[in-house]
Amino acid sequence: MDRVTIRYPALLLIQTACAFVILHHIHAIFGVLVDNPGVRQPMSVAPLIQVGLAATVSQICYWTRVSSTPLPRSFRNVILGHLLSFAGRLSFIFGAALFSFYFLRHMPAMELERLDIGSALRGSFLIAILFVLFCYSLELERLGVALQMPSVRTAKDASD
């Protein structure tokens, strides 16, 4: 295997691990928010650091892939392509659910003159995490589409 063949799966594997870290924390936060709607919850710094680090690493991998690593086109698997596209959409749904719950439940109660820097930072952090999950879901969908396309044959393969 050459370096290019290994690079894409490595970047995707790292992005997937980052998405699992983010989705794990979203699941925990969502449970707390649903059990105590409208109540500001104290938050430990460790999960925020983990999510922030996972988001940063995921974005580095994503933009590295987009700018310099081509999608694999060496094989075709329609079923796997569909499953990856589905997984991509599903991963974004979980992030969007937390985003929707937070803004529909907590934002109407906030008054513009009472907005503080903490509220703005929390909202910005949530939007940034949603963007990370969007990029990951987009990557899975791109891979899913690539797997559903006919295999690319090289001139050497055609002459054999």
DSSP 152: P
With a pLDDT cut of 70, the percent of the chain lying above it is 74
Can you give the pLDDT at residue 154?
47
Average pLDDT over residues 86-95: 81
Nearest to 62 by CA among 131, 147, 148, 158: 131
Mean pLDDT score of the chain? 79
Can you give the pLDDT at residue 155?
46
Most confident of 4-13, 40-49, 56-65: 56-65
- Residue 57 vs residue 71, higher pLDDT: 57
Average pLDDT over residues 82-91: 86
Could you give phi then psi for residue 73, rounded to 5 degrees?
A: -130, 20
With a pLDDT cut of 90, the percent of the chain lying above it is 31
* pLDDT single digits (tens) 104-142: 665 545 454 455 666 677 778 888 998 999 999 999 999
* pLDDT single digits (tens) 68-80: 988 877 778 889 8
Nearest to 7 by CA among 71, 77, 57: 71
Average pLDDT over residues 42-69: 91
Can you give the pLDDT at residue 106?
54
Can you give the pLDDT at residue 151?
62
What are the DSSP calls for 6-74, one per residue? HHHHHHHHHHHHHHHHHHHHHHHHHHHHHHSTTPPPP--HHHHHHHHHHHHHHHHHHHHHHHH-PPP-S
